[in-house]
Amino acid sequence: MRIGLFIPCFMNELYPNICKATYKLLKNQGLQIEYPLNQTCCGQPMANSGCSKDVKKLAIEFVKTFKDFDYIVAPSGSCVAMVKEHYAEFFDNDKDYNKVKASIYEVCEFFHDIIKVENINFNVSFPHKVGLHNSCHGHRVLKLATASELNIPYDSKLKNLLNTISDIELITLRREDECCGFGGTFSVQEEAISVAMGKDRIKDHLDSNAEIMTGADMSCLMHMDGIINRDKNPIKVMHIVEILAGVKP
């Protein structure tokens, strides 16, 4: 089983240690991980800004880079959602794209659905109060958990994984899946609302006495981390793979 590691552009530049945790987490499961070096960006920021036309070249490159892997795994729900949901317009029912679309996974989704929880032992203790921020694209597009709006049986792939960690205490938030307000270029175009939403999301965690806020999308966490650091809030942000990989806060 060949696995292609897709590292979102901003994570490569800003969060190499989280990328490393992702890499090691996969490797520790005895999987064959390859990291294609010519990858850059899935094009999501441009497409969400209305400029999907500019993304075509990136999409074609992406598919070329990753088409031969059995699975493509990335530590970001929204970048995976971009490839799955918004690339179709660049490909006319193309066989390579269809394969990529079917084989790309957010890393937690990959562990949960392909490796399966019963086959995993992260062998990690994390004795902290943790709040899970469900980033919207992973949550509602990839359906990593049941959205609160729907009347269907509840499940959460992220919580199922976190619950395999010893000594972790997952706190309950007042608003299970409220958006944090990052939203790509929304974060600067609608700066006031974006920050207000981020502050509210952080407050929900603080009010629940969470020491750590985690999630599967570093972009949302980066936005809230920026507010947390500015406001000196007593909470720390960690990507979910860091917790699963045994990184200490």
Of residues 193-212, those binding other proteins (CB under 8 A) = 193-198, 200
Neighbouring-strand partners of residue 2: 32
Under 8 Å between Cβ of 210 and 129: yes
Q: Minimum Å distance from CB 97 to other proteins?
A: 18
Q: Is 242 in the site for other proteins (CB under 8 A)?
A: no
Residue span binding other proteins (CB under 8 A) among the ranges 123-131, 163-171, 208-216, 227-235: 227-235
Under 8 Å between Cβ of 110 and 33: no
User: Among residues 9 and 120, whose Cβ is nearest to other proteins?
Assistant: 9
Q: Is 46 in the site for other proteins (CB under 8 A)?
A: yes
Among 3, 4, 6, 20, the residue binding other proteins under the rule CB under 8 A is: 20
Instruction: Kindly determine how many residues on this chain lie close enough to bind other proteins according to the rule CB under 8 A.
Output: 77
Q: Minimum Å distance from CB 9 to other proteins?
A: 7
- Give 70's DSSP letter: S
User: Among residues 168 and 180, whose Cβ is nearest to other proteins?
Assistant: 180
CA distance 205 to 115: 30
CA distance 32 to 97: 22
Output the DSSP codes for 188-247: HHTHHHHHHHHHHHHHHHHHTT-SEEEES-HHHHHHHHHHHHHHT-S-EEEEHHHHHTT-
Q: Minimum Å distance from CB 208 to other proteins?
A: 16
Rg (CA), the chain: 17
Under 8 Å between Cβ of 114 and 72: no
User: Among residues 1 and 188, whose Cβ is nearest to other proteins?
Assistant: 188
Among 1, 30, 50, 167, the residue binding other proteins under the rule CB under 8 A is: 50
Among 132, 210, 227, 240, the residue binding other proteins under the rule CB under 8 A is: 227
Q: Which residues inside 67-126 make contact with other proteins, applying CB under 8 A?
A: 86
User: Among residues 168 and 224, whose Cβ is nearest to other proteins?
Assistant: 224
Q: Which residues inside 134-193 make contact with other proteins, applying CB under 8 A?
A: 136-137, 139-141, 147-152, 175, 177-179, 181-193
Q: Is 6 in the site for other proteins (CB under 8 A)?
A: no
SS3 content of the chain, % helix, strand, coil (to 5): 50, 15, 35
Amino acid code (one letter) for 206: L
Non-local (6+) Cβ contacts of 244 within 8 A are: 21, 25, 108, 111, 122, 124, 161, 162, 165
Q: Minimum Å distance from CB 122 to other proteins?
A: 18
Count CB atoms within 10 A of the CB of residue 35.
Answer: 12
Q: Is 241 in the site for other proteins (CB under 8 A)?
A: no
User: Among residues 40 and 163, whose Cβ is nearest to other proteins?
Assistant: 40
